[in-house]
Structure 1
Amino acid sequence: MKIFKSTYITFIALSVVSLVSCSDDYFDVNSSETAPTTTSLAPQFRIQGAIENTTGTAQYRGAREVLGITQYGSQNVADYYSETWSKELTTGSYFLWQNAYVYALPNTADLIVLGDKHNSPHFKAVGKILRAYIFGMTTDQYGDIVTDQTYDGESSMNLTPEFVTQKEVYATIFQLLDEGIEELGLPTEIELNQEGGDVLYQGNKEQWIKFAKAIKARYMNHLGKKSSGDMAYNADAIIALCEQSFTSNQDNAQVNFPGGEAENANQPFSADGYGSSRFDYFSNFFVELLKNPLGAAVPIEDPRLPIIVPEAVNGGYHGVVTGRGLDGLPSEDFSLGNGGFYTNPASPTYMITYSEVKFIEAEARFRKGDLPGAYTALKAGVQADLEKLAVPAAEITAYMAQLDVEVGGSGVTMSDIMVQKYISNMLNPETWVDMRRMDYSSDIYPGLQRPDNVNLDIFPGENDWIQAMRYEYNEEDRNYINMPDNNPNIRLTTPLWWNTPE
């Protein structure tokens, strides 16, 4: 049996928790060549595992945890724990925390060590960029996390690592991205795609640099409520990064799935994927938003609706109210969650796209008062997403003309930007960051309401919304001395650092 070189998981935890057979595991660790088990291989044999663990385990888990919070999808049963913000929200064994620290981060650590060992700094760069991405996803769900004392590919395991503040995590993210960009400019002995392992950019280092800058723009954009110190929001710096990063959908950071008999050959949220049971139906909020995303007096249906939500029922598209379930109604009354653009077996997992970069730029320009510039960036983002979904050209032209009428250059609002970003970022955990940054405002997200059957013991007021995830129970059992307060009344309700004005 292969044992993970893990961050600080004990042998018992690995044997009993991490290595058991489970339909939700992305890799069979007893046979997978991509599991982090040794640094004896050359880096070209490790890069695919680093990329796929980042998306297929960590990002998938991050998206699954917040599926009901972001209200993209809904369960068929009422009062489902992750939709109603139960205190048990993250007490399972297979959630983002474990998938980040046991599966994803060790691969990136090995890639950095191997790149150094084989005089191939491009692999070090990719390891650092992916590491920054994983730290970002993890801290944005939990707040304070472990960074410096994770498994580093060389040191022995630390069973009780210290947590660092989210502000410190963000400094680490920016440092890793800057170092990665610099190292991609150095000469290398082994090319990134020598063995076909670079399943993200096929060895194109310029696209990796664009990706790193796009991710840096994303995390800098989270700081909209920070106005002082070395982490103050800087719209001009964000705009500059956006302009230096993606220029078309060809740059999109996406991991593709071929489809097939094996579960992990399929998009996790597809009917044949290992996470399909978490996406029973599209949510009522998402479906209704797509019926009139421009807020027109006479509703204008988004041309992406029938592409994303493939099943029209009873003459139209109907979603399930989050937290309510089917409410005794027949399942045929609601649009199934599987089979659309994002949820068919060959659907990609998107890490960050050109459209998101343009929406980030639009927000930055809006915040500095450049409304015409914000609208130009918004239009570019919308057009890119329509093209990504292969909306017919005539429908794209019509929709963009309607956007001009309903929004226009000087009439653009933060709601216009965030609604379009919400639609284009479907199934990306980044959406939960946006919703919290926007204070779950129904002025920003028209029609947004708290789920039915929300946990009133923890969220008694109608303006109380979930702010963070609980740390998993195995972390609490093992490292309670260093772990922040995990009381659900505190953890689930306390805003993260970047969401605290200063």
Structure 2
Amino acid sequence: MFKNMKLRIFILLIITGVFTSCENYLDVNTDPNNPTAVPVKGLMSVASIRTASNTASMGYHTSYFVQYLAGPNAGGNTDTHQEINANTTWVNIYNVLSNLSDMELMAEEQGAPNYVGAAKIMKAINLALLVDAWNSVPYSDAFFVQTLKPTYDDGQQLYTEIFTLLTDGIANLQQTTTTLIMGEDDFVFGGNLSQWIKVGHALRARYLNHLSKTSSYDPNAVLAAIANGLESNADDAKVTYTNEVRNPWGAVAINQAGLVLDGWISQQIVEAMDGTTFGVVDPRMEFMFSRTQHGTFRGTRNGAGRDPDVVDLRLDASTLVEGTFYADRTSPVLVMTFAEQKFIEAEAHLALDNKFAAYTAYLAGIRAHMDMLAVSAAERDAYINNPAVSVGEEDITLDLIMKEKYVALYLSPETWNDARRYDFNYADMTIPDQLNPDLNGQFSRRLQYPSSEFTTNSDNVPRVNLLDRIWWDQN
């Protein structure tokens, strides 16, 4: 929970104009020998909170693709996998990457390896958001250079950079001598370096797991990273917001309550949890989205819009609503969780045919997510002990692991990565009504490059369509 001092620091930084990047991911006036007058601690505050907001921003788009959310009106662009312009998300990620490049350079010059390490970990997170959505993106000459038209780096090569950032970041964080002590300026862990190290390893496991459809997938490497990763929910990487600096999903809930229609829940996620699809009622629903005025949970079919009998646009369908775990104005944005790590672990063990370990991790992932939401022990245990959930180690399957991970990563952009690795084979998940006809009945596999790139960097922008797969999604 943010302390008042953290809030004052953040607001002061915003007022004094801490963001150093220009409109299009690069500041042509940046001198690599004298990058910025903003202190390292100020950059840490901005970068840590903005890394969380970038995660939420990407999740806002992808939550329609994986049918967490649905449009209240028929034929919405994101709902039906049209080419959307995610320009704001793109620019905000590059802004943070530029801040982090400044922070890393300044921290190195000042002898603060702890800040160098945190900068590298956050760079890996933001770079992965770009590559997983767009594949090839500007990076190697997008910072500290005098060009308005940077070239695009290959997505696979950028994954090598992501792993290098994590390795180097962990090494920096393990150094014991520093001129600057991290604390209240860190909005993720409050200066706890051991937790930064753990999340670095957990993120390595995440990105190694993305390679499950490639020849380089190594489940043993995934498990080796997890061995040094998160140990409990207490290690979750997250940023918690305040009434003054609102959670992005809380802002969506506030808009919906004011009849700026947004944050409607998909029929897919509701039926995955209300007993329709799997025959077991999940007690987490009330922690995730609203009941209707009739006391029921009701989703909206993607692409079809609200049913004719939905008259009260606030109370006749389930939506994001304040007071729930994810969408209160003071809710956390989750960047990496122990629950996610347990499902990654379950998948890796299953790939090695270690069903006992896979089953144990699968059940632990469910328990971790329920405990994070503060589901009562009685409801938690009743759900886990249901025969549809506790199937026994011999009957553990990838389908069960992915089904539970789908619920536990609600609103996370990571689920779109899972969906593409899993070829959207979630039970009863069908293409939306009024699907983009250019997709030939298939789910989209990537985002189109944003309009700003075609305006300012057109010669370098790869020509792609929504069915062109990113490098780790090729079969």
TM-score, reference length from structure 1? 0.84
Look up the match of 2:51: 54
Cα distance between partner residues in 2 of 1:474 and 1:78: 28
> When the two structures are aligned, how many residues end up with a matched partner?
452
For residue 283 of structure 1, the aligned residue among 262, 266, 269 is 266
RMSD: 2.7
Look up the match of 2:169: 180
Change (3 A) 1:273 1:305: closer
Residue 97 (structure 1) aligned with residue 90 (structure 2) = yes
- Structure 2 matches for 1:413-492, cutoff 5 A? 413-441=397-425, 445-456=426-437, 458-461=438-441, 464-485=442-463, 490-492=464-466
Cα distance between partner residues in 2 of 1:220 and 1:169: 13
Q: Which runs of 5+ in 2 are unaligned?
A: 1-15
Shift of 1:393: 1.0
Cα distance between partner residues in 1 of 2:259 and 2:132: 24
Q: Which runs of 5+ in 1 are unaligned?
A: 15-36
Shift of 1:314: 3.0
Look up the match of 2:300: 320
Q: Deviations over 1:165-211 (max 9, x none)?
A: 111010000000000000111133344434x1111111111100001
SS in 2 for 1:244: coil
Cα distance between partner residues in 2 of 1:413 and 1:78: 35
Look up the match of 1:118: 110
Shift of 1:336: 2.3
**Are the counterparts in 2 of residues 125 and 181 from structure 1 also a CA contact under 8 Å?**
yes
**Are the counterparts in 2 of residues 7 and 106 from structure 1 also a CA contact under 8 Å?**
no
- Structure 2 matches for 1:34-433, cutoff 5 A? 39-56=36-53, 58-87=54-83, 89-90=84-85, 93-94=87-88, 96-101=89-94, 103-151=95-143, 155-194=144-183, 196-227=184-215, 232-260=216-244, 263=246, 267-271=250-254, 279-292=262-275, 295=278, 299-329=279-309, 330=311, 331=313, 332-339=315-322, 340-402=324-386, 406-433=390-417
**Are the counterparts in 1 of residues 138 and 153 from structure 2 also a CA contact under 8 Å?**
yes
Equivalent position amino acid for 1:321 in 2: R
Shift of 1:499: 0.7
Report the more deviating stretch, 43-52 or 124-133: 43-52
**Are the counterparts in 1 of residues 72 and 261 from structure 2 also a CA contact under 8 Å?**
no
Q: Deviations over 1:118-151 (max 9, x none)?
A: 1001111111110000010111011111121122
Shift of 1:391: 0.6
Q: Deviations over 1:451-479 (max 9, x none)?
A: 111111x1223xx1100001111111211
Using the aligned pairs only, state the percent identity.
28
Change (3 A) 1:264 1:282: closer
Shift of 1:327: 3.8
Shift of 1:81: 0.6
Equivalent position amino acid for 1:429 in 2: P
Change (3 A) 1:211 1:12: closer
Residue 500 (structure 1) aligned with residue 474 (structure 2) = yes
**Are the counterparts in 2 of residues 60 and 268 from structure 1 also a CA contact under 8 Å?**
no
Q: Deviations over 1:352-387 (max 9, x none)?
A: 100000000000111111111110010111100010
Cα distance between partner residues in 1 of 2:239 and 2:387: 31
Q: Deviations over 1:286-323 (max 9, x none)?
A: 1110113882xxx2200101221232443421011111
Equivalent position amino acid for 1:471 in 2: Y
TM-score, reference length from structure 2? 0.89
